[in-house]
């Protein structure tokens, strides 16, 4: 939904906003949708913790069981599992059983979609404004 900046300024600040008439005449902005907020929250979960970033980098290269992540990262199994649960909750990581092992892989298609939404919504791919 488009939000007219000048209307919001005048509603909130009255005549004080008149000085901004020329600057914001016809300008509008949009708040993120519920889906966009969900995507940005998921990206925050992925990139707000160094260990989760390392897990994502490893799983981008190879499907791995928890024991391999524990060995590579030199951290406790419970800590690795905790971060995997967080990543799974946001569908960034996918789990599958092979025998007695749980293998984890990166949901690359979903991450591509998330990055595309972020790039388009933030207009990162366009030059200028």
Residue ranges of the chain with per-residue pLDDT less than 50: none
Domain assignments of the chain as residue spans, ordered by start: 2-31, 34-114
| Residue the block writes with tokens 């600040």 | 13
- pLDDT for 6: 86
Three-state DSSP at 21 gives: helix
**Spatial contact of 108 and 60, defined as CB atoms under 8 Å apart:** yes
**Mean pLDDT score of the chain, rounded to an integer?**
91
Instruction: Report the alpha-carbon distance of residue 46 to residue 85 in Å, rounded.
Output: 11
| Tokens describing residue 66 | 């928890």
In this structure, CATH architecture of domain 34-114: Orthogonal Bundle (1.10)
- pLDDT for 17: 74
| Residue closest to 58 by CA, chosen among 110, 99, 104, 11 | 104
* Each residue's pLDDT tens digit, 81-101: 999 999 999 999 999 999 999
| Tokens describing residue 77 | 């199994």
Q: Is 24 exposed, middle or buried (0-12, 13-18, 19+ CB in 10 A)?
A: middle
């Amino acid at each position: 939904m488009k939000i007219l900046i000048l209307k919001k300024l005048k509603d909130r600040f009255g005549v004080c906003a008149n000085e901004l008439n020329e600057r914001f005449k016809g300008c509008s902005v949009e708040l993120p949708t519920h889906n966009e907020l969900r995507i940005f929250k998921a990206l925050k979960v992925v990139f707000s913790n160094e260990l989760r970033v390392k897990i994502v980098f490893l799983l981008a290269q190879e499907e791995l069981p928890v024991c391999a992540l524990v060995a590579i990262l030199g951290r406790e199994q419970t800590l690795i599992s905790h971060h995997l649960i967080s990543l799974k909750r946001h569908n960034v990581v996918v789990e599958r059983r092979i025998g007695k092992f749980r293998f984890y892989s990166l949901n690359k298609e979903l991450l591509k979609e998330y990055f595309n939404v972020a790039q388009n919504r933030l207009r990162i791919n366009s030059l200028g404004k």
